[in-house]
């Protein structure tokens, strides 16, 4: 274990394990700087207290976030301004984590320590891995985990909130959080589009990450038989279990027009608005997916999210009420883990 990280974890645990009455004595700037020094957020602090942001503000500052304006919040208590960055970050993070679909399409969100990530991968070979009788002293079939042949460079992604303090000071804190949640949703939807493109096309720098592409029986049209062919290839040909089908809006409409998916015995979309699940697979429409094709994947194996920096807000500007441009950024991206864990069915002519 990393000794420095081990020490930090012990310090974090010791701080959060303090009695609630002791924790509450730490507030304002002292709390802000203590949490920053320990690599913690106010969300960790609230969980240790067994409270929420709303209840904490009501108890400490007498501020009802559903009613109070931004200006009145800053005036409610000298310590309040040091909590405002958490209000902003929490709202944005809620949007990033609730609206987008990419969290269900990846095997995990892997924390990494740098913007250049050397991702180990398993290279599968049916001939080498076939189970067979092994004579005494003979070689045993192998699966190789290879390291060092793919370096993924993460990008800084972000959105800016452009508004003067005068524009937001009379707005209720709750209404501001609505706008911030939407800002987080848009950031998350951008990540959806990046993942959809990667699944359908592979990483541009590494051609071996491209998916297996199948073609519809009739160019320019999708049929239920094409769904079956993709399912059979991924399940039987590649040995993965199909869990999700990703496509763009036009392909979604083409699939939804197929009679088996319109059958009320299979789908209750017209009554509930829930997408049907063809062949038991979750349908995930993403506008950033390439046109005229769909990707069928095993979300437990196909791709991984690599994150160096989670949602970051320019705190100092918020504390001093400088609202001309407040940036929310993340340093993250996606990488293919198992190339054969997805197939693409294209309606374009071969």
Asked, for residue 127, whether it belongs to a domain, the answer is no
Residue 132 has pLDDT above 90, yes or no: no
Using one digit for the tens of pLDDT, what is the confidence trace for 8-32?
899 999 999 999 999 999 999 999 9
**What is the rounded CA–CA span in Å between residue 257 and residue 292?**
15
Asked, for residue 33, whether it belongs to a domain, the answer is yes
**What is the rounded CA–CA span in Å between residue 331 and residue 316?**
20
Burial class (CB in 10 A: 0-12, 13-18, 19+), 335: buried
Q: Which residue has the higher pLDDT, 110 or 233?
A: 233
Asked, for residue 285, whether it belongs to a domain, the answer is no
Question: If you average pLDDT over residues 37-58, what whole number do you get?
Answer: 94
Q: Please tell me the predicted confidence (pLDDT) of residue 13.
A: 95
* Residues forming beta bridges with residue 294, ordered by sequence position: 247, 345
Q: Which residue has the higher pLDDT, 85 or 138?
A: 85
Q: Please tell me the predicted confidence (pLDDT) of residue 149.
A: 67
Q: How far is CA 279 from CA 126, 245, 259, 298, 346, in A?
A: 26, 10, 14, 13, 18
Q: Please tell me the predicted confidence (pLDDT) of residue 107.
A: 95
Tell me the average pLDDT of the chain.
87
Q: How far is CA 46 from CA 9, 31, 49, 198, in A?
A: 18, 12, 5, 37
Using one digit for the tens of pLDDT, what is the confidence trace for 295-349?
999 999 999 999 998 888 766 667 676 666 678 888 999 999 999 999 999 999 8
Tokens of 238: 């590649």
Asked, for residue 60, whether it belongs to a domain, the answer is yes
Residue 164 has pLDDT above 90, yes or no: no
Domain residues for the domain of 7 are 1-82
Q: Angle, to 10 degrees, between the axis of helix 28-38 and the axis of helix 42-49?
A: 110
Asked, for residue 23, whether it belongs to a domain, the answer is yes
Question: If you average pLDDT over residues 191-217, what whole number do you get?
Answer: 94
Burial class (CB in 10 A: 0-12, 13-18, 19+), 45: buried
Number of domains present in the structure of the chain? 1
Q: Please tell me the predicted confidence (pLDDT) of residue 312.
A: 81
Tokens of 183: 């800002």
Q: Please tell me the predicted confidence (pLDDT) of residue 278.
A: 86
Residue 154 has pLDDT above 80, yes or no: yes
């Amino acid at each position: 274990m990393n000794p420095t990280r081990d020490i930090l974890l012990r310090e974090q645990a010791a701080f959060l394990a303090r009695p609630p009455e002791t924790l509450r004595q730490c507030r304002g700037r002292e709390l802000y700087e203590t949490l920053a020094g320990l690599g913690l957020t106010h969300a960790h602090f609230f969980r240790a207290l067994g409270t929420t942001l709303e209840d904490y503000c009501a108890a400490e500052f007498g501020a009802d976030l559903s009613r109070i304006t931004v200006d009145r919040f800053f005036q409610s208590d000298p310590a309040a301004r040091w909590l405002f960055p958490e209000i902003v970050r929490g709202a944005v993070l809620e949007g990033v984590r609730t609206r987008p679909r990419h969290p269900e399409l990846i095997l995990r969100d892997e924390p990494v320590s740098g913007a250049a990530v050397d991702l180990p991968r398993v290279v599968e070979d049916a001939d080498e891995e076939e189970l067979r009788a092994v004579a005494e002293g003979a070689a045993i079939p192998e699966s190789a985990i290879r390291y060092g042949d793919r370096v993924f460079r993460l990008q800084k992604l972000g959105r800016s909130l452009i508004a003067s303090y005068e524009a937001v000071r009379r707005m209720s804190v709750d209404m501001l959080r609505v706008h911030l949640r939407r800002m987080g949703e848009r950031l998350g939807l951008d990540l959806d589009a990046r993942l959809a493109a990667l699944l359908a096309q592979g990483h541009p720098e590494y051609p071996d990450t491209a998916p297996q592409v199948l073609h519809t029986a009739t160019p320019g049209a999708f049929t239920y038989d094409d769904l079956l062919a993709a399912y059979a290839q991924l399940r039987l040909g590649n040995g993965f279990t199909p869990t999700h089908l990703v496509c763009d809006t036009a392909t979604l409409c083409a699939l939804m027009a197929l009679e088996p998916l319109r059958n009320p015995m299979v789908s209750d979309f017209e009554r509930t608005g829930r997408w049907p699940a063809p062949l038991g697979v979750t349908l995930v429409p993403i506008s950033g997916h390439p046109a005229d094709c769909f990707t069928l994947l095993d979300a437990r194996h196909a791709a991984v999210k690599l994150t160096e920096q989670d949602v970051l807000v320019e705190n100092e500007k918020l504390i001093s009420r400088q609202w001309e441009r407040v940036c929310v950024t993340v340093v993250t991206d996606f990488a293919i883990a198992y190339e054969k864990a997805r197939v693409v069915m294209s309606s374009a002519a071969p």
